[in-house]
């Protein structure tokens, strides 16, 4: 290797390190609670009488609004009129229709923010703890486009970019076998998810937007979540073996996540 090539490589490496240092380091272990809904109905039916209680889990799930960078959000997505009845039916029969109740993968964004982040110069890795199998995502941050040959998947194909101090993750190419929220929020393979992560002091903020023009009237931006650092190590989740689902007689709303 000639002297010019060595100098060029050193310059490129230095430039890469400087670029990486310009962005906040999101690496670390974070304390998260999965799920994307701040409120949820707890539905129970007994003797032909149905009872519904609304649970406010905003505090439990770290929902926050008083943070710089938060985008306007609503509690629920707006479905096109022809799909409203389907959402209502899926939600009312959740213990029979929700894939995660039967060990299905939650997918993005329902899996929530990552439990651990490893940030490298050209990619970022998200690790999760989930009863469906502890997924991980390796997300390029070097400007490359989405993969043309990627197969549709539960967690989609992700690429990321920095907008100032905010990491913006663009996720596409999903299978249709997931909900993007607990309340029967089904989607099509046209769904696209944008996740935004940024630092707020020592904490991390995560907020996601779902677009699916096939079923939604407009994109839905979810409530933001503030995530605190954690000293608890990641642990392998026990195998998920659902055996009681087919035996349920009531249409109880389990609020699994």
Please give the full DSSP string across 98-154, using - where no structure is assigned: -GGGGT----TTTT-S-SEEEE-SSEEEEE---TTT--EEEEE-SS----TTPPPBS
Q: What is the pLDDT of residue 195?
A: 98
Q: What is the pLDDT of residue 38?
A: 47
Q: Is residue 17 part of a domain?
A: no
Burial 173-191 (b: 16+ CB within 10 A, else e): bbbeebbbbbbbbbbeeeb
Q: Is residue 4 part of a domain?
A: no
Per-residue pLDDT tens over the stretch 110-158: 999 999 999 999 999 999 999 888 999 999 999 999 999 999 999 999 9
Q: Is residue 12 part of a domain?
A: no
Q: Is residue 8 part of a domain?
A: no
Domain that holds residue 178: 26-247
Per-residue pLDDT tens over the stretch 63-88: 666 788 999 999 999 999 999 999 99
Per-residue pLDDT tens over the stretch 201-251: 999 999 999 999 999 999 999 999 989 999 999 888 888 887 666 666 666
Q: Is residue 211 part of a domain?
A: yes
**In this predicted structure, which of 5-19, 47-61, 166-180 has the lowest mean pLDDT?**
5-19
Whole-number mean pLDDT of the chain? 84
Q: What is the pLDDT of residue 60?
A: 47
How many domains does the structure of the chain reveal?
1
Q: Is residue 183 part of a domain?
A: yes
Q: What is the pLDDT of residue 238?
A: 87
The answer to whether 137 and 123 have CB atoms below 8 angstroms apart is no
Q: Is residue 149 part of a domain?
A: yes
Q: What average pLDDT does range 91-101 have in this prediction?
A: 87
Q: Is residue 255 part of a domain?
A: no
């Amino acid at each position: 290797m000639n002297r010019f090539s060595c100098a060029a490589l050193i310059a490129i490496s230095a430039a890469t390190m400087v670029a990486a240092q310009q962005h906040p380091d999101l690496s670390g272990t974070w304390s998260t609670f999965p799920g994307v809904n701040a409120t949820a109905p707890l539905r129970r039916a007994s003797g032909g009488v149905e009872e519904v209680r609304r649970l406010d889990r905003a505090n439990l799930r770290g929902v926050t609004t008083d943070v710089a960078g938060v985008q306007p959000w609503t509690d629920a997505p707006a479905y096109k009129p022809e799909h409203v009845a389907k959402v209502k039916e899926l939600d009312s029969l959740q213990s029979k229709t929700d894939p995660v109740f039967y060990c299905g993968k939650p997918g993005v964004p329902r899996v929530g923010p990552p439990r651990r982040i490893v940030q490298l110069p050209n990619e970022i890795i998200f690790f999760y703890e989930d009863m469906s199998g502890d997924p991980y995502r390796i997300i390029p941050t070097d400007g490359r486009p989405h993969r043309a040959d990627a197969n549709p998947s539960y967690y989609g194909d992700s690429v990321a970019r920095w907008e100032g101090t905010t990491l913006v993750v663009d996720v596409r190419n999903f299978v249709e076998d997931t909900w993007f929220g607990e309340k029967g929020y089904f989607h099509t393979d046209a769904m696209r998810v944008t996740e935004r992560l940024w630092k707020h002091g020592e904490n991390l903020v995560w907020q996601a937007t779902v677009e699916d023009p096939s079923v939604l009237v407009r994109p839905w931006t979810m409530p933001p979540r503030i995530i605190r650092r954690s000293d608890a190590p990641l642990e392998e989740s026990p195998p998920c073996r659902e055996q009681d689902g087919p035996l349920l007689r009531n249409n109880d709303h389990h609020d699994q996540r």
